[in-house]
Amino acid sequence: MEQVKHGSRRSEGRGNELRKSFGRILSEALKYVQFDARDQWPLDLIASNYARGDVLSSGRYGQVVSARARPITVGFTHVEPRACVIKTCEIGARLDACVRDSRGDKQELTLRLAKLTRRIIIEIYILNRVRHSNIMHAHVTTVDELSVSVHMVLPRFYALDLLINKYRRDKDGEPMPVRIILMIIRQLCRALEYLHASNIVHSDIQPENIYITRGGTVKLGHFACARMLTSEKAALECRTPTGREEFMCFEKQFNLRNAHTLDECMPFTTAADIWSVGVIVLHMVCYFPNEKWHRLPRNFALQMGQQKMPFKWMVSEMVQLRVRLTQSGDEQLKKFLSDKLLNIDPESRATAQQVLDSSLIKKWCFSSLDEDKSYLVRKLIHELDWPNRFKLESDGFNYDACEAKDIPAEFYWDDTWKELEKRKFGFVLAVFDAGVKRDGSNIEQQFSHADISLFEVLLCGVESGELEMFDIFAIDQNIRNLCFTLMRGENCRRNGSHSSSREEITFRLPPSLNCTDRMAHLEVFFV
């Protein structure tokens, strides 16, 4: 008994030490993305800055609460409180679970910590560094070292599932019109096309993670399950069935319900997100999985896969569902689902770009995206919430368009930002742990500011052991700053001044669990 108590105390001691170290590392790593430089909000999440409201959702490892940023008065200018949500991620509780579930196995603990770290960094990077009008962005990201928790202030928009449920109640269960459905799908696929181009799988596409602004812009959020398939090895290891079961494709449902070992699991790709898009269409037509009398089983993806059955055969005897697909406004909707989205073969599913180019999207959506947004405002937002009972902003900065990116403001004055996105850059990076150069850390890579390729090459460096996951934000920020210096120099050269075509810097990296004294030397140049 005494030995058990001693072992328990020792395990608790390891857990407390891990919490302390991890909190310090997290705080150092995330200081580069504390706020959105384009639209700064208060950093301190105290009562004088944010009035917290209702708990919108909660779970074992965090919660989301509604809030309003306090009014700011400057001279005679008064700014109204701004609607937002505060998302808290209890990293400390996840660390405790890692320690507990590893049962004293150091290798197992290392593996679990690596997965947790990767999950944290990918979500925070996308919310703070990926700029696209159809992807959610964070206003503020802070770390509480004591509790080892991450707090993110995010814009407050309409959750798609709430709009769908209200439409269902207000319209007595009638299906949503195909024009509204496809206008939403169009913008969702714009977000997915941008992510999929860099091999990022969202892996939890469902109505609760899709949002719509008062201005009719669709935003994809919640990237806690996102994966980046940076290599063939990473793609083969993408087998964990994350997300809501009813929205999972066949591969994920098979892994969840039928596979008994890891070797039996099927890998999935960006095509898994496309299947989920198809289920969202069904959800807007027949409110699946909430309307049981339409007879579509909750695990219909698994049944289709096991029986090698196309979706159009699956629903051939489901009269009510087929009628609702037609009532929605287009008899081709069933064929669109069967051929493009709800196809058991992931290779045969359409890509996000192919969905955008499809005849059905072109038929029901306006050529101008702004016209789509105006239509959604008139026919969806105003019909369901004309008085704006949540007091959501209708013209928030970077809400309905990317008015600005994470670049110096002066780059917009002379169109330097256009040249920045055209140019290819390269970098050479060396990492030093306690003054000793890390083996294989002479990283030389190329990237562009027009996409997410910088994140992709840095993640490859993590997978090869050249970098730590928590290094990404520090390196990313310093690379960006040197690129901006090079662009300013390029402008000077055009004006006849001498400037360098190569910039370098030495800077401190966040500590790791194995080393506290870490440095990096970086050179950035034009390609």
The 10s digit of each residue's pLDDT in 90-133 is 999 999 999 999 998 999 999 999 999 999 999 999 999 999 99
Mode of pairing for the β-strands spanning 149-155 and 140-144: antiparallel
pLDDT at position 15 is 79
Tokens of 16: 């407390």
Domain match, 38 and 10 both = yes
Domain C-terminal end among 155, 178, 195? 155
**In angstroms, rounded to a whole number, what is the distance separating the alpha carbons of residues 93 and 107?**
20
| Domain match, 376 and 422 both | no
pLDDT of residue 376: 98
Residues 365 and 349 in one domain: yes
Q: How far apart are the first and last CA of the chain?
A: 66
**How many whole angstroms separate alpha carbon 251 and alpha carbon 193?**
21
What span, in angstroms and rounded, lies between the C-alpha atoms of 19 and 90?
A: 11
Q: Is 136 exposed, middle or buried (0-12, 13-18, 19+ CB in 10 A)?
A: buried
User: 135: closest CA among 467, 398, 455?
Assistant: 398
Residue 71: CB atoms within 10 A of its CB come to: 11
Last residue of a domain, one of 385, 401, 422: 385
Judge contact between 253 and 302, C-beta under 8 A: yes
Token couple for 89: 């991620």
DSSP 251-273: HHHHHHHT--SGGGPPP--THHH
Residue 395 falls inside a structural domain? no
CATH of the domain at 258: 1.10.510.10
| Residue-number span of the structural domain to which 151 is assigned | 2-155
Same domain, 316 and 201: yes
Each residue's pLDDT tens digit, 358-391: 999 999 999 999 999 999 999 999 999 999 998 8
pLDDT of residue 77: 58
| CA–CA separation, 439 and 455 (whole Å) | 21
- 441 inside domain: yes
Is 208 found in the same domain as 297? yes
CA-based R_g, the chain, Å: 25
Cβ contact 327:151 at 8 Å: no
> Final residue of a domain: which of 155, 172, 191?
155
DSSP bridge partners of 68: 51, 83
Distance, in Å, from the CA atom of 64 to the CA atom of 337, rounded to the nearest integer, reads 33
Question: Residue 219 phi/psi, 5° resolution?
Answer: -125, 135
Closest-CA residue to 126 (of 115, 117, 114, 135):
135
Residue 72 belongs to domain with CATH number = 3.30.200.20
CB 464 within 8 A of CB 440: yes
Q: Domain check: are 331 and 451 in the same one? A: no
Are residues 163 and 151 part of one domain?
A: no
The mean of the pLDDT values for the chain is 92
Asked, for residue 400, whether it belongs to a domain, the answer is no
Judge whether 26 and 147 are in contact, CB under 8 Å. Answer: no
- Residue 496: its pLDDT value, please? 65
The whole-number pLDDT of residue 485 equals: 96
Provide the angle, in degrees to the nearest 10, between the axes of the packed helices 271-286 and 250-257.
Answer: 100
User: Which residues of 160-248 form beta strands (DSSP E)?
Assistant: 200-201, 210-212, 218-220, 227-228
381 and 294 in one domain? Answer: yes
Residues 325, 216: one domain?
A: yes
Q: Which CATH number covers residue 441?
A: 3.10.20.90
Number of neighbouring beta carbons within 10 Å of residue 442: 13
d(CA 339, CA 335): 6
Inside any domain, residue 396: no
Residue 282 lies in a domain: yes
Residues 78 and 136 placed together within one structural domain of the fold:
yes
| Angle, vertex CA 72, rays to CA 70 and CA 76, nearest 5 | 145
Cβ neighbors of 426 (< 8 A, separation 6 or more) are 444, 445, 446, 447, 524, 525, 526, 527
Structure-block tokens of residue 110: 């290392």
Q: Which pLDDT tens digit goes with each residue over 19-78?
A: 999 999 999 999 999 999 888 899 999 999 999 999 999 999 999 999 999 865 555 555
Same domain, 162 and 266: yes
Is 371 domain-assigned?
Answer: yes
Q: Is the pLDDT reported for residue 14 higher than 90?
A: no
Decide if 26 contacts 150 (C-beta within 8 A).
yes
pLDDT band for position 292 (cuts 50, 70, 90): low
Residue 479 belongs to some domain of the structure:
yes
Number of domains in the chain: 3
pLDDT in tens, 449-504: 999 999 999 999 999 999 999 999 999 999 999 999 999 998 887 766 666 789 99
**Quick one: 348 and 368 in the same domain?**
yes
- Look at residue 402 and tell me if it is in a domain: no
The first and second tokens of residue 466, run together, are 């050249």
pLDDT at 423 (0 to 100):
94
